[in-house]
Homo-oligomer: A and B are copies of this chain.
Amino acid sequence: MARAIIAGTGALPGLLLKAGPAHLVVFDGVEIKAHGTPVIPARFEQLGRLFTRLREEGIDELCLAGAMTRPQFDPSALDAETMELMPRLMAALAQGDDGLLCSIIALLEDQGFTVRAAHELRPDLVLDEGVLTGIPTDRQQVDAARARAVLEALGPLDVGQGAVAAAGQMLGIETLQGTDAMLNFVARGRTDMGGVFVKRPKPGQDLRVDMPVIGPETVRAVARAGLDGIEVAAGGVLLLDRRAVLAEAETHDVAIWATP
């Protein structure tokens, strides 16, 4: 068994390398520091070449980690195997994020690779049920329940890993632009304080891709948006850099907790 991390941007690929030896697969356009880890460069147009290389290295286990933007294909660079896969890839690209990523996993599995989730490699990064820091108030619990209800309603439509509620009102619902953009939107023109950011996988989401994460930057963005709480799904959200998250939460007086 040898492993490769298919690396997107962010801290997660680096954290997964600490789970054991692995190659890093780095697609064109992804910026990442390898820190001495063997790198396999890749292009979306040349998946045939990538699969061959992975097999040469004896790699049978893959883990997708970090954010990746939707690829732009250069048709003139397609290798034969990717050409053959194109109808399937095009159909995948036409779907929502979940649909796209599930198609990619199915494609990798058809090639004989085992696809593992980030939280299987680093179960210690997963937030368990309970309070991580602070003391969630009744008001925060009510706001969190409201945001959670919105995410549950949207889940079947493959929309929304995050939402913000304050004083019983919805202030933000995550769309394609992502969590940072939503929190910036909430921050704009706010004068009152308080409110909760809820982050959860979509109901039924395959956690092997696009597993939600929070990190110190999330806590800072939440504070800038005038919010004072973060609720995540127990077992469904990765915590990047626990120590820094706790420090930021203390600085900004933000409570963080996980519910089922």
Give A residues with C-beta under 8 Å from B. 94-96, 146, 149-150, 153-154, 156-157, 159-160, 164, 168-173, 175-177, 181, 185, 188-189
Contact = CB atoms under 8 A, between A and B. Distances in A.
Contacts of A159: 150, 170, 173
A157 B153 contact: yes
Nearest to A149: B157
A117 B184 CA distance: 36
9 contacts: A150-B154, A150-B159, A160-B170, A160-B173, A170-B175, A171-B176, A173-B175, A181-B185, A185-B185
B168 A94 contact: yes
3 nearest CB pairs, A to B: A173-B173, A170-B175, A169-B176
Contact of A175 (B94, B171, B176): B171
A141 to B, nearest CB: 15
Contacts of A153: 153-154, 156-157
A98 to B, nearest CB: 12
Given A95-B168, A150-B159, 9 more contacts: A149-B157, A150-B157, A153-B157, A159-B170, A159-B173, A160-B173, A169-B176, A171-B177, A181-B188
A15 B43 CA distance: 59
Contacts of A169: 96, 175-176
Contacts of A149: 157
Contacts of A160: 170, 173
A169 to B, nearest CB: 4
Contacts of A172: 175
Contacts of A146: 157
A203 to B, nearest CB: 12
Contacts of A154: 150, 153-154
A221 B156 CA distance: 30
From A96, A160, A173, A189, residue with most partner B Cβ within 10 Å:
A173
A169 B160 CA distance: 11
A150 B157 CA distance: 7
From A95, A185, A188, residue with most partner B Cβ within 10 Å:
A185
A123 B97 CA distance: 42
Nearest to A94: B168
A96 B150 CA distance: 13
Nearest to A154: B153
Contacts of A96: 168-169
A8 to B, nearest CB: 18
